[in-house]
A = this chain, B = another copy of it.
């Protein structure tokens, strides 16, 4: 009876875990993107080029959903990529609400050069963990990301 454990220790464990998750993610993410920054690309710009490389032509709405960003944000990042001549942006006759975004030759060369290095960086950085630990971490993140509560 009466042993309803409103424990601070439960909360403390959650806070600990949360802060470690934030810090580790920030650290890994920053390091992994170093070769991207070195090419004068921002993380967002790289994300869009990568999506276009792997998925082909996309409209801005599709890109926004894929990268979990707002529409206004995509408008701006795309326009900066257009200025750098890395992507093209054009309306077609079908549905005049859409802009279709695609890699230019220059953009394709850049992302085809960068992506393999990026993947190697991730592999190298994640190899601090054993393969088993990586599987474990992936599974915990999958479960955490789903948010069954609420």
Contacts and interface: CB of A to CB of B under 8 A. Distances in A.
Contacts of A10: 123, 131
A136 interface: yes
Interface of A: 10-11, 13-18, 20-29, 31-32, 68, 119-120, 122-129, 131, 133-138, 140-150
Given A21-B141, A125-B149, 7 more contacts: A10-B123, A17-B138, A20-B138, A25-B25, A27-B145, A128-B148, A133-B143
Contact of A140 (B15, B120, B127, B129): B129
A17 to B, nearest CB: 4
A15 B136 CA distance: 14
